[in-house]
Structure 1
Amino acid sequence: MFKFFKNIGPGTLVAAAFIGPGTVTVCTLTGVGFGYTLLWAMVLSIIATVILQEMAARIGIITRLGLADVIKAQIRHKYLKIPAIILVLSAVVIGNAAYEAGNLSGASLGMTGVFGAGFTPFYPLLIGAMAFMLLFIENYKVLERCMIGLVLVMSLSFILAAVLTKPDIGAVLRGAFIPGFSEGSILTVIGLVGTTVVPYNLFLHASLVGERWKSPDDLKAARKDTLVSVILGGLVSMAIIITAAGSGLTDVSNVMDMAKGLEPLYGRFAVYFIGTGLFAAGITSSVTAPLAAAYVANGCFGWNASLKDTRFRVVWMAVIGVGVLFASLGFNPIELILFAQVANGILLPVIALFLWWVVNKAGVLGRYKNTVLQNVISGVIILITILLGIRSIFKVFGW
């Protein structure tokens, strides 16, 4: 068991990143609205995430560069390179600053469920300080171990909450492996996939593998790490759907409403489990979003900076600072978030296509380029990301 946890690496931070308050909320609404019937969408999301993250990790290990650096190196035409860099910076750096308020607010909601509402105004500042300290340590191994611990806490919290509802195992298995659409479910399916297949995770993963592994011989370990971590993250998301479906509620506005609905049946344990899980989900995303923004800025501007570099620090500090400010004031930066959603809607299919292009270039990956089977599977996944990107843009503009 010790050896197993010792070998877990950057994939855990990827799982921590995509299970944020937004994912928890979408999964909660999915379970309340559709029961177990859309669990298959999470299975699809897990497969898509594993495929894309493996390609990003492979690029990072073989090239020893971050994804933003590879984009700059491979797109040689300046009229394509400059718009690509602007798009990446807008979607990841500015976008993550906008989303950080949601991460801190979600973690604060979890703390309110566990500790009460007496200190609610101070929770965003406290959680922001925690995220600051985790990043200021500037030791990748320490950060990785802390995040593994938080992900395990989050996993146990939501899985135990799901067990408390005593779900119908047959219905769960049918929902997970027999695809079907209920009336009005298509947008929810898109939401489930969209909260799991996250553009900034591709940049984060490609950079983090360089902190952990140094040789192509480590590809096997990286693939195992990606597979285990993403599946664990997907199981957590599925556990949230199962908990919501078993709650018997028909109307919730956030995940803590579900916890309160479960309280009469299962006591305060339900509130503690879900509150702790939401706190862990919020704080892990509050760490990974600024970290991803810093890595992207590092690559786009060609800093070649380490975790201890002042420029690297300034970026993640700025993202946390913006998040704390917006969360503390209760201000919803709606225009900034809408801009980030549009940028991410464009970025996801663009980056997916770019990944596909690069992993087929022998001049970049040599014998580690994609096989025919990998191309077929990733091609289907990329088609899905294109549809997701188009739909997210349409959703923002109300089309």
Structure 2
Amino acid sequence: MGKSLEEVHGSVVTQNKKSVFRKILAFFGPAYLISVGYMDPGNWATDIAGGSQFGYALLWVLLMSNMMALLLQSLSARLGIVTQRDLAQASRETYSPFINYILYFLAEIAIAACDLAEVLGMAIGINLLFDIPLIEGVIITVLDTFLLLFLINKGIRKMEAFIIVLVAIIGFSFIFEMIFAQPEMGKVIYGLIPSMPNEAALYIAIGIIGATVMPHNLYLHSSLVQTRNFDRSKAGIKQALKYNFIDSTIALNLAFFVNAAILILAAATFYKNGMYEVAEIQDAHRFLAPLLGSKWAPILFAVALIAAGQSSTVTGTLAGQIIMEGYLNLRIQPWVRRIITRLIAIVPAVIVISIFGESVTGKLLILSQVILSLQLGFAIIPLIHFVSDKSKMKGFHIGRVTQIASWIVATIIVSLNAKLVFDEINGWLETSKNPLLLWFTVVPLAFGFLILLIYIVLKPFIAKTKISILNHSPHNLKLQFSKSGTYTKNNIAVAVDFSNADEVALNNAFQLGGIDAKYTLIHVVETVGAMVYGENIDDHETLIDEKLLNEYKEMLSEKGFSVVTKLGFGKPNVVIPKIINEGQFDILVMGTHGHTGFKDLIFGTTVDKLRHKISIPLLIVKN
């Protein structure tokens, strides 16, 4: 299993900082990327709906959600810092392939729902500010996929700076909105007292929780904290945990301010004036100027909306990459992954808007947040199990009080979701003209997910699962070598990737060099983290790859071969030529998986880019 976000893994150095402030500053950043997920356009829709329908009454839901988010994000950061795995990788190591495929599918649904909200929010903001039709605005949002590619190639710190600027734009916009709106502070404070006006408020409340505590953020945070290269001693890990908690506290409280400001704005303008049905972002924008008496109010609103959509789409697509690589151990070209994620969101948005018109965007946004909320249990429960495990966490497992608090949060979220699902299905059965169809489709599906939820809750208590190494085992290689013949090469480099192609490559190398040649086995760790942090990376995949490379060396040494190993980090077509050109090799041997054309486009190529960069012969053997 590779490093999480390998391009940027361990790329930010936190050691040798001259002052405490500089050291703290080195750790700050990941939580701000997380915080934008808590103020994305989906949040705007649920906050506006909650404020216009129920005034300040649901402010306490935002506060509770923020406290839940801070707890869960701190658990996610702890998992990444201590184990050097993200949540998807930890799940892959713990559950069976069948369960992991289901969890992956659910995580992808969450990503699609999140991206749908971001696409719609960006398109609405573009429409409001520049009067570009909504459909065209949705299509324009494809372009920000390439912005993400540009940013990640510049390094994680540049990306973090870009996001922080967008967060600042959102924050300043709402400071002015609050000045324009002049909310009643007494009612704001009263809104922090828990209450639930009616059933409709419950639906909005669950949407707010889903919009605030987002499942993809749990995957993302556990990966982003691995971009920091820090001292891996016990004291160093403790320090990293402390600074990341401070980072999370500041960033998530900023997100709470933005969400509360949106709800308060809706309450102070629409609810106050009896406009209880304002749920669409477009309606909110249209009514702001006449109600607040300022032409700047709607402009700042639209600018903040675009900033929210743009910032959250960057983090959403990163989360999609982490989930795919973590659950499936499948790496495809980053731009392909991001285009797929964006199209999954754009296609349904274009279809629905084309059929039902622009008036349904608010309902789509709220629905996307409820879908997110329904996925939460399948991310939260494994996370709590992982960070409670003494063996996985190497002594940094959470204490009893934190465990109890975490399970209370999980119980609240799962219970609210269960009630929502039960009420919705019950309503469908009562109003459907063909309830039998629902009994044979929707009801069994709901029971299936309930059984899955119970399974992931109980499994760690029933049996402790050993961490499995899912890479190709060197002991399965059927190496053949004949000591007779003429050998022409003395110093041979062999590129290995722990797949079946290694067997063919090694056998061909032995035919060239025989028992007396010197063999250098080269493997490149090509996770996102390795690309960013290089040799300073210290994650799970690097440890596994290094272990497998050493097993190759031991096995071949036992057979009498002279073998050394070289572990590289980054893109193979860059790293391998560098290793080759710095050494004194006679030939490079590497296997190929034999894919061409479309598969090259999806998975990328190494051979074509590599052969022009080396000054020695290259032997390519097909598996």
Tell me if TM exceeds 0.5. yes
Per-residue CA deviation, residues 248-301 of structure 1 (Å, 9 max, x unaligned), is 332214123122212113221110121112112222222222211110101112
Count of residues paired in the alignment: 385
RMSD after superposition = 2.8
Corresponding position of 2:183: 167
- Residue 297 to residue 338, structure 1, CA distance change in 2 (3 Å): farther
- Residue 382 to residue 102, structure 1, CA distance change in 2 (3 Å): closer
Q: Which of 28, 39, 50 lines up with 1:19 in the alignment?
A: 39
Instruction: State how far apart, in whole Å, the 2-side matches of 1:85 and 1:136 are.
Output: 31
Task: Select between 271-280 and 233-242 the one with higher mean Cα deviation.
Answer: 271-280
The reply to whether residue 134 of structure 1 matches residue 161 of structure 2 is: no
- What amino acid maps onto 1:243 in structure 2? L
- Residue 212 to residue 394, structure 1, CA distance change in 2 (3 Å): farther
The question of whether the paired residues in 2 share the 8 Å contact of 1:14 and 1:204 is answered with yes
The question of whether the paired residues in 1 share the 8 Å contact of 2:27 and 2:240 is answered with no
TM-score (norm 1): 0.87
- What amino acid maps onto 1:24 in structure 2? W
- Residue 255 to residue 162, structure 1, CA distance change in 2 (3 Å): farther
Instruction: State how far apart, in whole Å, the 1-side matches of 2:253 and 2:365 are.
Output: 28
The reply to whether residue 358 of structure 1 matches residue 353 of structure 2 is: no
Corresponding position of 1:276: 303
Corresponding position of 1:8: 28
Deviation at 1:97, TM superposition (A): 3.1
Deviation at 1:339, TM superposition (A): 11
Q: Which of 238, 243, 257 lines up with 2:283 in the alignment?
A: 257
Corresponding position of 2:71: 51
Per-residue CA deviation, residues 11-42 of structure 1 (Å, 9 max, x unaligned), is 11111123222110110011101111210111
Corresponding position of 1:78: none
- What amino acid maps onto 1:234 in structure 2? F
- Residue 154 to residue 121, structure 1, CA distance change in 2 (3 Å): same
Percent of pairs with identical residues:
25
Per-residue CA deviation, residues 49-90 of structure 1 (Å, 9 max, x unaligned), is 011111011001111111111112233xxxxx2243223321
- What amino acid maps onto 2:57 in structure 1? T
Deviation at 1:324, TM superposition (A): 4.0
Q: Which of 237, 247, 252 lines up with 2:259 in the alignment?
A: 237
Deviation at 1:316, TM superposition (A): 1.8
- What amino acid maps onto 2:285 in structure 1? A
- Name the SS of the counterpart of 1:368 in structure 2: coil
The question of whether the paired residues in 1 share the 8 Å contact of 2:182 and 2:268 is answered with yes
Q: Which residues of 2 match residues 320-399 of structure 1 at below 5 A?
A: 320-328=342-350, 330=353, 347-394=375-422, 397=425, 399=427
The question of whether the paired residues in 2 share the 8 Å contact of 1:49 and 1:197 is answered with yes
Task: Select between 133-142 and 54-63 the one with higher mean Cα deviation.
Answer: 133-142
- Residue 340 to residue 105, structure 1, CA distance change in 2 (3 Å): closer
Corresponding position of 2:61: 41
Which residues of structure 2 form unaligned runs of 5+? 1-20, 428-623
Corresponding position of 2:100: 85
- Residue 251 to residue 6, structure 1, CA distance change in 2 (3 Å): farther
Deviation at 1:331, TM superposition (A): 5.4
Instruction: State how far apart, in whole Å, the 2-side matches of 1:106 and 1:253 are.
Output: 13
Instruction: State how far apart, in whole Å, the 1-side matches of 2:389 and 2:226 are.
Output: 20
- Name the SS of the counterpart of 2:43 in structure 1: helix
Per-residue CA deviation, residues 84-142 of structure 1 (Å, 9 max, x unaligned), is 32233212224423542331121121122222x24554323333312421234322222
Q: Which residues of 2 match residues 216-231 of structure 1 at below 5 A?
A: 216=237, 217-231=239-253
Instruction: State how far apart, in whole Å, the 1-side matches of 2:259 and 2:420 are.
Output: 21
- What amino acid maps onto 2:381 in structure 1? L
- Name the SS of the counterpart of 1:179 in structure 2: coil
More strand by share: 2
The question of whether the paired residues in 2 share the 8 Å contact of 1:38 and 1:189 is answered with yes
Per-residue CA deviation, residues 186-235 of structure 1 (Å, 9 max, x unaligned), is 22222211211111111111111112354423111111111111111111
- What amino acid maps onto 2:418 in structure 1? I
Deviation at 1:325, TM superposition (A): 4.3
The question of whether the paired residues in 2 share the 8 Å contact of 1:93 and 1:294 is answered with no
TM-score (norm 2): 0.57
Of structures 1 and 2, the one with the larger relative CO (CA 8 A, separation 6+) is 1
- Name the SS of the counterpart of 2:196 in structure 1: coil
- What amino acid maps onto 2:289 in structure 1? E
Deviation at 1:43, TM superposition (A): 0.6
- Residue 299 to residue 390, structure 1, CA distance change in 2 (3 Å): same
- Residue 26 to residue 146, structure 1, CA distance change in 2 (3 Å): same
The reply to whether residue 152 of structure 1 matches residue 168 of structure 2 is: yes
More helix by share: 1
Larger radius of gyration: 2
Q: Which of 340, 354, 374 lines up with 1:318 in the alignment?
A: 340
The reply to whether residue 103 of structure 1 matches residue 130 of structure 2 is: no
Deviation at 1:395, TM superposition (A): 5.8
Instruction: State how far apart, in whole Å, the 2-side matches of 1:160 and 1:338 are.
Output: 26
Corresponding position of 2:219: 203
Instruction: State how far apart, in whole Å, the 1-side matches of 2:377 and 2:390 are.
Output: 22
- Residue 288 to residue 314, structure 1, CA distance change in 2 (3 Å): same
- Residue 345 to residue 255, structure 1, CA distance change in 2 (3 Å): closer
Instruction: State how far apart, in whole Å, the 2-side matches of 1:56 and 1:332 are.
Output: 40
Instruction: State how far apart, in whole Å, the 2-side matches of 1:347 and 1:118 are.
Output: 34
